[in-house]
Amino acid sequence: MNSPDEIQRRSFEIIDAEVSEPRPFSGRKWQIVRRMIHTSADFDLLSKVRFHEKAIDAGIEAIKRGSSVITDTKMLLSGINKQRLKKYGCKIRCFISKKQVKELAKRKGITRAWASVDFALPYINGSIYAIGNSPTALIRLMDLIEKDICQPALIIGMPVGFVNVEEAKQRLISQKKVPYIAVVGRKGGSALAAAVINQLLEFLESE
């Protein structure tokens, strides 16, 4: 039986072979998109991933600084390589299940994902904020950024679904204040967002 490392190496080789040159992405962007395809087996991502020009450097620098990594769901949190993040002093934060978040959501009639962004506010500046499930989390985050209330170092915007998803992502990629890596359209997911963070860690490991 092949080892996990061998399976991953072989998978990357297959993806490289199936996506002929010239590819829509190159260099570090390709390495990120390739890992996302490896995670999902979805080659449609080749036309759906969007990068802010400073996104990769911003993410790497945030990890080097030991910045917080905030996730919208526990599923996304579980997919991130926590041991590697800890090496740089980063703390992963997810507030979706906090009692205070549940109470705030019920009191205001909003989603827990929306309420968790408000609860995360003290930790957002300079953080990597990864959203792999909830468009309402991205909508609320964009509200706060547009009002100059907070500024993450990087947003990984990959909520999935049918309601408000495409509009939320369009707000993200249209703004100029915060670097982002996003998947446009309805597709996305926690596994894809986690793959991006894990690839940023791979860049650091290879330096």
Q: Tokens in use for 19?
A: 């996506």
Amino acid at 66: G
Count Cβ atoms below 10 Å from residue 107 Cβ, excluding itself. Answer: 9
Query: What is the C-alpha separation between 112 and 191, in angstroms, rounded?
Result: 20
Question: Which DSSP category does 150 fall into?
Answer: -
Residue 60 to residue 203: CA distance in whole angstroms: 8
52: annotated active-site residue: no
Beta pairing partners, 46: none
Please identify which of the residues 38, 54, 82, 87 carries the catalytic annotation: 38
Which residues, including other chains, have CB under 8 Å from residue 153's CB and lie 6 or more apart?
58, 59, 61, 62, 67, 126, 127, 128, 178, 179
List residues with catalytic annotation: 38
